[in-house]
């Protein structure tokens, strides 16, 4: 167990990643200030569907193709992390199911999931409709229990409460500057031994970030929340170009991957396309009232985040988690504590891995 006792840290960014990092740093004994000018959930973390999806992410996202093992390990950190919040109930081991009208497509997805080495079950059409109430009878379906889900708003709230309870400080302020020993926030300076940047993309309003942040680029995601219509429970259901995530408050329907866009404007044509695709799976969703939301993910060239000390001494990174910030949050928090404690971060996460000099040295 690494001790950061006696150290003073500032974590900039209060999304899934920054919240988990602040908590982990505090639990390792450091004094911590979590700074974010936004209200809780007003970020990518707050509009995410909350899937912890090692299997389907590796099967569907080309950039994640080789990451199943990393993602599964990250998922397995969630039960103890959720329990440490006193909210093990926030984790739903619901599994995920691919359903499609084309049986060749179903067979292909079954083969892709099987190739990962995870648990896969071919499901007959009647059984698929039983497991996912409201599902249009598909030609077939394939289910995996590798993928889980959490409720992002509830978990953000639980992390914030835990941080308050355990002695962390939260400031509604923006990071604007850093010199060794001193972090400048929009509401005043803080003496600190280290700064952790957990702002998703490069921090807004900081003119001079570390060079590693050049490797980040935005991917806008638009998503719908359908009020009251099924499915309210059951597995996540995926089909070509769409997912439907059951939720007691109404399912989440998502999501676009709009590389290069960093705005949160709602495009009504995009919303209509998402709703049509969801209705192909669940016909009842065609007319369901739906609210559109958008957020901006950050990605690196290899789809994994930047973690650990940057080229600027005293500045640590935990950002760029692409489509898997929720999945990876407890893992990144642990890696940051290790880096702050002087240990080396795994090469596949290292914030320096795109620097050719560092790779040669490593």
Ligand X SMILES: Cc1cc2nc3c(=O)[nH]c(=O)nc-3n(C[C@H](O)[C@H](O)[C@H](O)COP(=O)(O)OP(=O)(O)OC[C@H]3O[C@@H](n4cnc5c(N)ncnc54)[C@H](O)[C@@H]3O)c2cc1C
- Which residues contact ligand X by CB under 6 A? 12-18, 35-38, 43-45, 47-51, 174-175, 198-200, 203-206, 221, 223, 254-255, 295, 297, 319, 321-327
Q: Is the distance from CB of 232 to CB of 291 less than 8 angstroms?
A: no
Cβ 275 to ligand X shortest distance, Å: 15
Choose between 322 and 353: whose C-beta lies nearer to ligand X.
Answer: 322
Choose between 206 and 282: whose C-beta lies nearer to ligand X.
Answer: 206
Distance CA 288, CA 303 (A): 34
Cβ 229 to ligand X shortest distance, Å: 19
What is the torsional sign of CA 340, 334, 155, 301? positive
Q: Is the distance from CB of 53 to CB of 328 less than 8 angstroms?
A: no
* 122-141 residues labelled b (16+ CB within 10 A) or e (exposed): ebebeebbebbebbbebebb
Choose between 110 and 203: whose C-beta lies nearer to ligand X.
Answer: 203
Structure tokens at 52: 């912890």
Cβ 36 to ligand X shortest distance, Å: 4
Cβ 78 to ligand X shortest distance, Å: 11
Choose between 33 and 340: whose C-beta lies nearer to ligand X.
Answer: 33
Choose between 238 and 323: whose C-beta lies nearer to ligand X.
Answer: 323
Cβ 333 to ligand X shortest distance, Å: 11
What is the torsional sign of CA 46, 49, 54, 57? negative
Choose between 8 and 171: whose C-beta lies nearer to ligand X.
Answer: 171
Pairing mode, if any, of strands 8-12 and 31-35?
parallel
Q: Is the distance from CB of 227 to CB of 250 less than 8 angstroms?
A: yes
Choose between 168 and 254: whose C-beta lies nearer to ligand X.
Answer: 254
What are the phi and psi torsion angles at 312 (to 5°)? -100, 115
Which 8-state DSSP code applies to residue 28?
T
Cβ 50 to ligand X shortest distance, Å: 5
Choose between 142 and 304: whose C-beta lies nearer to ligand X.
Answer: 304
Structure tokens at 211: 């060079």
Choose between 205 and 289: whose C-beta lies nearer to ligand X.
Answer: 205
Choose between 23 and 49: whose C-beta lies nearer to ligand X.
Answer: 49
Cβ 289 to ligand X shortest distance, Å: 19
Pairing mode, if any, of strands 96-100 and 236-239?
parallel
Cβ 168 to ligand X shortest distance, Å: 15
> Would you call 165 helix, strand, or coil by DSSP?
helix
Element (H, E) at 12: strand 8-12
Distance CA 312, CA 178 (A): 10
Region at 256 (left for phi over 0; alpha for psi -120 to 50; beta for the rest)? beta
Q: Is the distance from CB of 85 to CB of 184 less than 8 angstroms?
A: no
Cβ 356 to ligand X shortest distance, Å: 26
Pairing mode, if any, of strands 121-123 and 31-35?
unpaired
Residue among 15, 16, 17, 12 at smallest CA distance from 33: 12
Cβ 103 to ligand X shortest distance, Å: 27
């Amino acid at each position: 167990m690494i001790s950061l006792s006696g150290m003073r840290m500032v974590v900039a960014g209060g999304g899934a990643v920054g919240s988990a990092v602040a908590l982990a740093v505090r639990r390792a004994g450091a004094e911590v200030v979590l700074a974010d000018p936004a209200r809780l959930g007003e970020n990518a973390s707050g509009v995410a569907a909350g899937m912890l999806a090692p299997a389907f992410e590796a099967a569907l996202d080309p950039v994640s193709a080789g990451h199943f093992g990393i993602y599964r390990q990250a998922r397995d950190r969630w039960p103890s992390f959720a329990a440490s919040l006193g909210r093990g109930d926030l984790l739903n081991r619901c599994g995920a199911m691919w359903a499609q009208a084309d049986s060749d497509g179903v067979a292909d997805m079954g083969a892709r999931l099987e190739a990962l080495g995870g648990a896969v079950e071919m499901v007959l059409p009647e059984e698929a409709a039983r497991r996912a109430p409201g599902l249009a009878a598909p030609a077939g379906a394939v289910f995996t229990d590798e993928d889980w889900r959490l409720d992002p708003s509830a978990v953000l709230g639980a992390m914030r409460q835990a941080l308050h309870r355990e002695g962390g400080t939260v400031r509604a302020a923006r990071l604007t500057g850093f010199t060794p020993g001193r972090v400048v926030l929009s509401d005043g300076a803080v003496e600190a031994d280290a700064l952790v940047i957990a702002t998703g993309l490069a921090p807004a309003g900081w003119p001079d970030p570390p060079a590693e942040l050049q490797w980040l680029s935005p991917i806008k995601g638009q998503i719908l929340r359908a009020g009251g219509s099924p499915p309210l429970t059951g597995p996540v259901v995926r089909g070509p170009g769409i997912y439907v995530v059951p939720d007691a408050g109404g399912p989440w329907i998502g999501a676009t991957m709009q590389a290069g866009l960093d705005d949160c404007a709602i495009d009504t044509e995009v919303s209509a396309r998402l709703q049509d695709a969801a209705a192909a799976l669940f016909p009842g969703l065609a007319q369901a009232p739906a609210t559109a939301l958008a957020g901006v993910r950050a990605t690196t060239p290899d789809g994994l985040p930047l973690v650990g000390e940057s080229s600027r001494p005293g500045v640590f990174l935990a950002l760029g988690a692409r489509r898997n910030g929720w999945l990876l949050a407890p893992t990144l928090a642990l890696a940051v504590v290790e880096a702050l404690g002087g240990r080396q971060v795994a090469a596949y996460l290292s914030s320096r891995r795109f620097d050719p000099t560092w790779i040669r040295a490593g």
